């Protein structure tokens, strides 16, 4: 089986590439850091190949799509790349807003549009969102808004791809031990994070076992019910 994973150079994406290779997949990883991708190839071997691409630009989306076409077909597309910034909504520059919406929302849909012609019945599209879409994240408002857009679009995509026999999996991670918060310029939550490998395993299990939604850790699923009644975070 063949999988495409964006945001492959670190965090959940990196762990997922290792998880899938360990389960016998051929994996195409996409990210901006060639050095990190080269290092990962050194660890995972020939079942892992990569493409350097900046998904904040449509040219980057097309680079990933072209590399995927060279695989011949795709069984699993994992839209994992994403970023946020600890800023008030009105403190973001226009360029930051455009880049965030592009990476977190536009690129996943654009890649799905380009890659689904390469996908057969039984294939899977995975969109990594965030459990934070169920609450108001006052310190990451632009990030939350872009992920809510992906959350909404994922539900629509599930219905559009069902007639083609392509399943859509929505993934809602909680606090994961990655560099996300550091890169976003803020302090991480005051709680114990789960390792990215745990999320990666949950995603791989969902792909292979026919699931449609993943909450990691599992208790974050309660936010679907409790979130609207909770005070804003931040």
Cα torsion for 205, 207, 210, 216, to the nearest 10°?
50
Interatomic CA distance for residues 146 and 156, integer angstroms: 16
What is the maximum span of the chain, computed from C-alpha positions, in angstroms? 49
Catalytic choice (50, 86, 105, 143): 143
Q: Say which residue the tokens 């990594």 belong to.
A: 128
Distance of CA 149 to the CA centre of its chain: 13
Q: Are the beta carbons of 80 and 12 closer than 8 angstroms?
A: yes
| Residue 175 falls in the annotated catalytic set | no
In sequence order, what E strands does 64-146 have? 76-79, 124-128
Interatomic CA distance for residues 102 and 17, integer angstroms: 23
Which residues form the catalytic set? 143
């Amino acid at each position: 089986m063949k999988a495409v994973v964006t945001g492959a150079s670190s965090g959940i994406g990196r762990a997922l590439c290792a998880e899938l290779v360990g389960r016998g997949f051929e994996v195409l990883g996409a990210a901006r850091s060639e050095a990190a991708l080269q290092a990962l190839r050194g660890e995972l071997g020939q079942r892992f190949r990569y493409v350097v691409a900046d998904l904040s630009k449509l040219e980057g989306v097309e680079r990933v799509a072209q590399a995927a076409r060279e695989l011949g077909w795709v069984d699993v597309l994992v839209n994992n790349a994403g970023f946020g910034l600890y800023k008030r909504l009105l403190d973001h520059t226009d360029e930051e807003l455009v880049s965030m919406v592009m990476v977190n929302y536009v690129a996943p849909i654009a890649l799905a549009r380009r890659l689904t012609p390469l996908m057969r019945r039984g294939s899977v599209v995975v969109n990594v969102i965030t459990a934070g879409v169920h609450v108001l994240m006052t310190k990451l408002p632009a990030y939350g808004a872009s992920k809510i857009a992906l959350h909404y679009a994922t539900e629509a995509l599930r219905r559009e791809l069902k007639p083609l026999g392509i399943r859509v999996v929505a993934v809602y991670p909680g606090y994961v031990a990655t560099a996300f918060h550091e890169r976003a310029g803020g302090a991480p939550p005051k709680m114990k994070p789960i390792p990215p490998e745990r999320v990666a395993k949950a995603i791989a299990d969902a792909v292979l076992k026919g699931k449609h939604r993943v909450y990691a850790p599992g208790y974050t699923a309660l936010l679907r019910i409790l979130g609207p009644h909770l005070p804003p975070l931040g």
